[in-house]
Amino acid sequence: MPDKSDYVEFEGNSLSQDLKGSNFVEDYNTWRENCQSISGGRMGVKSIPTLYDFLKSHMDGNIRAKSRNDGLDGTGAIQFMTLIEDIIDDPDKIFTNEEAKLIESLSSTLAAMEGEGEKAGETGPARDPAFILFTETELDSAGNKKFDRKVQGHYATEWYAKRNEGTSAVDGTWLTGNNPPHQALFSETSTEFAKPKGLVHIMKEAAGAIGGSDLDVLIDTIPSGTDAADIDEISGIERFFDKVTTTQTYWSAGGKLLVNKVRKELQSTSFKIGNADREIVSELANLKINTPKGAAGQLNSFTLSSTATPIISLVDRALKRKDKITAPNGYRAWQNSTKRGFDYRKTARERFGEDTGKYSPDAKTIGKMWQAHLWG
């Protein structure tokens, strides 16, 4: 059973969602913080504060006219970052099926962007920032254009640095498909610009982990109209209350059900869920497992913590399943928590006939079944 701190409110109950070893939220936050720490100066640019700012503005309102990306505004890195941050910046987040599918879809979209634009001059999108295109124009001694040269990845080449005082040429690998934004998005391993790895690999891992997460629910609220028969369909609950009818710990010496003791034990018990029970528990907990807005993952265990749990009715159903009207010690079973609950004690008239002595004829009296006297 997860720690209490692992549970968050979801549809009126408390839910824990374990991504089973995936550190999606932590990894993305590490990735984001690292990008925010890489200055524009470290990337060899002057007008962009950080690598994070570059990626947030990638193909967002800054596509040049007649570019291969003309008409693709908003389809760069910003779409992935905005989606993820809208989801994970909620501190009490439970991933839904809809979000799991969206992350999976967008991780495939981002993966398809890697390498786009590598061949300068071709048509089609060029969304990989490794291949941002720049033009160097060679002039003759008279200042007339001799020819243009296309460079990719960064404008600060050796040629550019020689002609612009105060500018240093960038690492040569940045001009051959491996500049900082490209690494931040696509690196398979940790680098200076991608910690703990590139965004696409963080998203791919998350896509699988969210859909396969383990769910554990504390059922604090039982839906209106739910009765003991509905709850008793769950095999773990049936076994629990069957055990109550055969365990003297839950009964007084005179056959009275110790309701608070049963409730305390029930609320501290985590029930494993089999395939046959999963849909019933999902409905009881209002998890909407198989809907877009439902919690993503597989429901594996639950705890029935609601004070509205019909304990007395569930015990009575267990007694009837076993064709019993007695506590484990042979005394007739009864309770006094509610007038509508079971009370299998005999009346004074049933025990003593018309002469009930000190008892009112209809008063319930404590006594053993005659078979129990024989066993004794």
Point out the least confidently predicted range of 131-135, 198-202, 269-273, 353-357: 353-357
- Read off the pLDDT band of 370 (50, 70, 90): very low
Beta-strand ranges (E) seen in the chain are: 8-10, 13-18, 133-139, 145-152, 214-219, 271-272, 298-304, 346-347, 364-365
| Percent of the chain topping pLDDT 90 | 65
Contacts of 192 (CB under 8 A, 6+ apart): 38, 180, 183
Report the pLDDT averaged over residues 281-307.
Answer: 91
Tell me the mean pLDDT in the region 273-296: 91
Q: End-to-end CA distance of the chain, in Å? A: 42
Q: For residue range 77-118, what is the model confidence (pLDDT) as tens digits?
A: 888 999 899 998 987 889 999 999 999 999 999 999 999 988
DSSP code for 172:
G
Kindly state the average pLDDT of the residues 312-332.
95
Q: What does the pLDDT average to over 351-371?
A: 58
Hey, how many other C-beta atoms are within 10 angstroms of the C-beta on 89?
11
pLDDT at 152 over 80: yes
The pLDDT score that the predictor gives to residue 267 is 94
Most distant pair of Cα atoms in the chain: their distance? 133
Give the confidence band of 375 by pLDDT, cuts at 50, 70, 90: very low
pTM metric for this prediction: 0.79
Residue 321, pLDDT > 50, answer yes
What was the pLDDT predicted at 34?
A: 98
Q: Does 359 score more than 70 pLDDT?
A: no
Q: Please tell me the predicted confidence (pLDDT) of residue 361.
A: 57
Residue 302: pLDDT over 80: yes
Residue 3: predicted pLDDT = 78
Tell whether the model's pLDDT for residue 160 goes beyond 90: yes
Tokens of 121: 């001059």
Tokens for 43, please give them: 């990337």
Lowest mean pLDDT among 190-194, 247-251, 289-293, 321-325: 289-293
Taking residues 9-34, report their average pLDDT: 92
Please state whether 20 falls in left (phi above 0), alpha (psi between -120 and 50) or beta. Answer: left
> Are residues 217 and 285 in contact, defined by beta-carbon separation less than 8 angstroms?
yes
pLDDT of 362 > 60? The answer is no
pLDDT at 373 over 50: no
Tokens 């791919």, located at residue? 204
pLDDT at 376 over 90: no
Residue 40: how many CA atoms within 13 Å on its side-chain side?
7
Query: What average pLDDT does the segment 55-61 reach?
Result: 84
Q: Identify the sign of the CA torsion 127, 128, 129, 134.
A: negative
Mean pLDDT (the chain) is: 89
Residues 6+ apart with CB under 8 A from 368: 326, 329, 330, 331, 332, 376
Residue 71's pLDDT band (cuts 50, 70, 90): confident
Residue 372 confidence class, pLDDT cut points 50, 70, 90: very low
Domain segments of the chain as ranges: 21-126+179-211, 214-344
Look at residue 254 in the predicted model and tell me its pLDDT. 93
